Amino acid sequence: MTRLDAVRERYMQDGLEIRLGGLAANLARLASFSSRLKNHRSVEYLLEESKWFIEWMVPDASPEMQAELADLQIQLAVWHRAWQQGKLEGGRLDEMIAQAHAWSDRLLERSGLLKTDAP
């Protein structure tokens, strides 16, 4: 079993809500780690892993959520390529960080994990 297979097996054990929350956490870490050059490998890993999370999650998502996830996966691919080519600097990096935060917040909200049953 490859490392990716092990990650997939573990990831798929959770329900869709938890998986969305995990993807949201990855995007929050991506935004946080991106501003430091020493985190280059971590950022690249988070970009790659997040694309896989989406790939594995899509079959269980609603058609509306599938469309959102497809948009995010495209955005992650664009960021990943730019990151590998060293083209995310200054304003472009700031934009990626802001968008990653926005996606993280959106997915966390969509996951339902923020809802409380308290009156």
* CATH code for the domain of 21: 1.20.120
Work out the burial of residue 4: count CB atoms within 10 Å of its CB; fewer than 13 is exposed, 13-18 middle, 19 or more buried. Answer: exposed
Residue 103 inside a domain? The answer is yes
Domain interval for residue 82: 15-109
For the residues 101-108, what does the mean pLDDT come to? 95
Residue 89 inside a domain? The answer is yes
Residue 31 inside a domain? The answer is yes
Long-range Cβ pairs for the range 85-92 (8 Å, 24+): 88/34
Computed from CA positions of residues 109, 110, 116, 119, in that sequence, does the dihedral angle turn out positive or negative? positive
Residue 70 inside a domain? The answer is yes
| DSSP structural state of residue 61 | S
Task: Encode pLDDT of 9-60 as tens digits.
Answer: 999 999 999 999 999 999 999 999 987 777 788 999 999 999 999 999 999 9
- Read off the tokens for 49: 């892993």
Q: pTM of the full predicted structure?
A: 0.88
